Structure 1
C-alpha cells in the first residue's frame, strides 16, 4: 500500500483495479445500447417487454441483495470479483451464439439478464468493500473519483461504440464486446497481489439471518445513511423507468438510427465524466455534506427537458438534460459512497454495501415495469414525463436529513452514536 500522501494512482494494484473496471465498464456500456436493440429491432419487443427486460437486469438486487453482503463478508473479496466477471462473460457470450444459430428468444434475454444481474450483485458489493483493502481511508475519495472517471469515460465511449457496432454487425453480435470486457476485467484482477486480510469469522452459532440483521441495523440506525438510501432509491426508481423506455422513445418516437442513438445516450456519460473529475474539488469548496444534497437540488430540474425533445435538432434537449442530471448524480455518488466507506468497519462493509444496494437498487425492477406499463398504456413520451417529474423528488429525503444543516460530514464516531429515544 502506498503512503497516504502519494495518491492512489501510484498504487500498482489500484491501477490494475482501474484497468479491470475500464474493460468491464466499456463492454457493459456497449450492452446498454445493444441489448435493448436486440429486443426492439431483432425480436420486435413491445414497450412492456423492454420494461420486463430492464427489470430482469436489476431483479437480483431484490432476490439476493441482502444475503450477498453476509456471504461477501465471509469471503475474501478479490476471488468474488474474478468469479463474477467470469460468469458474466460466459452468460453474455451465449447471446451472439444463439443469434448465429437462429434460436435467440426473449426468454433467453430475460434469463441472461437475471444471471448477469446476480453476478453483478456480488461483484458490486465486493468491489465497494474491496477498495479499502487497497487504499488508506484518506485516499478513498480520490480512489472513488478515479473509478467514477473510468466508469463515466466508458459511458462516453461505450454507447457510441455500441451504436456503431450494431450498425456494422447487428445488435446480437455487438454483445461480444461485453463478454470480452468482462473476460479482460477478470484477467486484470487476477494480477493483483496486495494481500487481503482473512475475513472475520462469524461468531459461533451466528446465522446468516443474524448477520444480515446486523447490516440492516447499522444502516437503519444511522440517520444520514437512512436518508441517503431513501434519496438514492427514488433516483434509481425513476432512472430505471427511463432506461426501460428510452430506446423506444428515441427510436420509435424521435426516429433516431442506432448510431445516433448511441451518441445521444453518451451525453449522460459526458456529464458524468465532468462530475467525476470535479467531485473532489466541489466537495472541498462546498463541503462534503453540503455537496451531497446540493448536487441533486441544482441538477434535478433539468430532467424536465427530456420529454420536451423532438425530431431533428430538438432531440438535443434530451442530450442536454442527460448531461446535466448525470453530472449531479456522479458528484452525489462519489461523495456519499466515500462517506459510507469511511464510516463503516471493515467487517461490516459487505453487509452495509449490500443493505444499501438492496434498498437503492431494489426499486429498479419496479421502476422498469412501471415505465413499460405507462409507455404501453399512454405512450413513451408520457412515461418520460413521469420520469422527469420523479427526479424532482430525489433531494427531498436529503433536505429532511441532518445533512442540510452541515457543511462537512461528521466524524464516524459522532455518526455512530445511537439516536436519542
Structure 2
C-alpha cells in the first residue's frame, strides 16, 4: 500500500472513504433497529433494507450519470446531498413519520450506487494501472473491517444515544469525505461529454453501453459469467448458516455471529494478500482460485464439527475478496474512461440481482431440503464457476498465443519475400 499512499490525491481520497464507508456500514442496521423500536414490527424493520436495496437497483442510471459528469465534482455533490438527506431523520419522532425513514433509505441506496460507481471510476484517474489492485484491496479490507464492528456499533448507539445522534454522526462522515475530495487536485482522465462522444444515442442505448462493452471484451465477459453463476448461490448462506448452527452444531442462534466474524477475519486476510497474488499470477487466475476456495469452504460447513465449520466460514470469507478484487481491477483496466461508471454498474447489477434473489431462494430451499443438500448445491455451482473461468481463460490465452505466433510467422515470411 505504500506506493498508493505515496500518491497525494489517492491518499487524501482513500482516507476520506474510510469515514464514508464507516457511516454506510453503521446506518443500515441502526435504521432497522430503530423502526423495530418505533413499531414493534419485524416486517416494518425489514422494509428498511428493502427500501435501501430498491434504491441500489437504479445503479445502471447512476453509472450513466457518472460517465457524463466529472467524477470529483459528482462525488462532492453526492456526499453533500446524502449528508443532508440523512439529517431528515431528525424529523422522525414516532411511527406516524415512518414513511420518511423509508424515503431516506431509498435515497441512501441510490446514493450508495452513485458513490460506488463514481469511486470505482475515479481510481483509474488517480493511480496507474499497476496500483489499482492495491487500492481495491485496501478498500475491501476497510469495508470488511467495518462490517465486523460498525453495524453492531450503530445498532447499539440507537439504544444508548438515540437514532437522531446516529443520523448526525453519519452526516458528519459524509462531510469529512467531502472535505477529503476538495483536497484532490484533479484527475488525469475525464469522461467524454456525452458518454460515447457524440451525445446522439438514446438514453436506453447509452445505459446499456456498459453491458455491451463487457460482453465484447472476452476477459470481462468470462469473469462476469462466472461471477453471476457463483453469486446466484452465495445468498443461500444467509439462511443455511442458521441451520448449520442449530441442526449441525446444536448451538444457539447467536453463534451465527461467531461464524460471521470468522468470515470477516478471512475476508480481511484475503484483502491484504490479494494485490500481491494478482501481480504474480494475474486477475483471472486469482478469481478462479477464489471460486474454488469458496466451494471448499461450503463443503467444510457440512460436517457437524465446530472446527470444520469454523474453517469453512473463514475460507468462504477469504474467497470473496479474491473474487471481487480481481473482477473490479480487471474492469477498471480494460474499460475506457468514458464507460467506467456504466461498466461498474453492470457488474453490480449482474452480480447484485442474482445474489438478492438467491437469499429468497436459499430461505425457501432450506425450509424444504436438508441444509446439507443446500450447501452441496453451493459447492457444486461455485466449483463449476471456477472450472468455467479457469478452462475458458486458459483456452483463450492459448488461442491468443497461437494467433500471435501465426502473426509473427507471417511477418517473417513477408520479410523474407521482400529480401528476395
Question: 5 Å matches for 1:147-296?
Answer: 147-162=139-154, 164-166=156-158, 168-169=160-161, 174=166, 176-195=168-187, 197-201=189-193, 202-239=197-234, 265-296=260-291
2:322 is matched with which residue? Answer: 331
- The verdict on how the C-alpha distance between 1:71 and 1:389 changes in structure 2, with shifts beyond 3 A counting, is same
Deviation at 1:289, TM superposition (A): 2.3
Q: Give the whole-Å Cα distance in 2 for the aligned partners of 1:104 and 1:249.
A: 40
Per-residue Cα deviation, 1:67-86 (whole angstroms, up to 9, x for no partner) = 32222111101122222223
Q: Give the whole-Å Cα distance in 2 for the aligned partners of 1:167 and 1:277.
A: 34
Q: Give the whole-Å Cα distance in 2 for the aligned partners of 1:372 and 1:107.
A: 28
Q: Give the whole-Å Cα distance in 2 for the aligned partners of 1:205 and 1:36.
A: 44
- The verdict on how the C-alpha distance between 1:290 and 1:196 changes in structure 2, with shifts beyond 3 A counting, is closer
Q: Give the whole-Å Cα distance in 2 for the aligned partners of 1:141 and 1:408.
A: 23
Q: Which segments of 5 or more consecutive residues in structure 1 lack a partner in the other structure?
A: 416-421
- The verdict on how the C-alpha distance between 1:308 and 1:82 changes in structure 2, with shifts beyond 3 A counting, is farther
Query: Which has the higher mean CA deviation after the structures are superposed, 125-134 or 389-398?
Result: 389-398
Aligned-CA RMSD value: 4.2
Per-residue Cα deviation, 1:296-331 (whole angstroms, up to 9, x for no partner) = 212334246669899xxx6x9876544321211112
Structure 2 SS opposite 1:206: coil
Q: TM-score, normalised by structure 2?
A: 0.77
1:65 is aligned to 2:59: yes
Deviation at 1:188, TM superposition (A): 1.7
Say which of 352, 377, 381 aligns to 1:393: 381
Q: Which segments of 5 or more consecutive residues in structure 2 lack a partner in the other structure?
A: 404-420
Q: Give the whole-Å Cα distance in 2 for the aligned partners of 1:82 and 1:244.
A: 38
Tell me: higher relative CO, structure 1 or 2? Use CA pairs within 8 A at least 6 residues apart.
1
Deviation at 1:24, TM superposition (A): 1.2
Higher alpha-carbon Rg: 2
Q: Give the whole-Å Cα distance in 1 for the aligned partners of 2:281 and 2:143.
A: 24
Q: Give the whole-Å Cα distance in 2 for the aligned partners of 1:308 and 1:50.
A: 34
Q: Give the whole-Å Cα distance in 1 for the aligned partners of 2:36 and 2:373.
A: 21
Per-residue Cα deviation, 1:234-269 (whole angstroms, up to 9, x for no partner) = 444545565689899999x97667xx9877644433
Say which of 6, 9, 17 aligns to 2:5: 9
Contact residue 141 and residue 280 of structure 1 kept, 8 A: yes
Contact residue 224 and residue 401 of structure 1 kept, 8 A: no
1:115 is aligned to 2:107: yes
Question: 5 Å matches for 1:374-413?
Answer: 378=367, 386=374, 389-390=377-378, 392-401=380-389, 405-406=393-394
Q: Give the whole-Å Cα distance in 2 for the aligned partners of 1:108 and 1:264.
A: 34
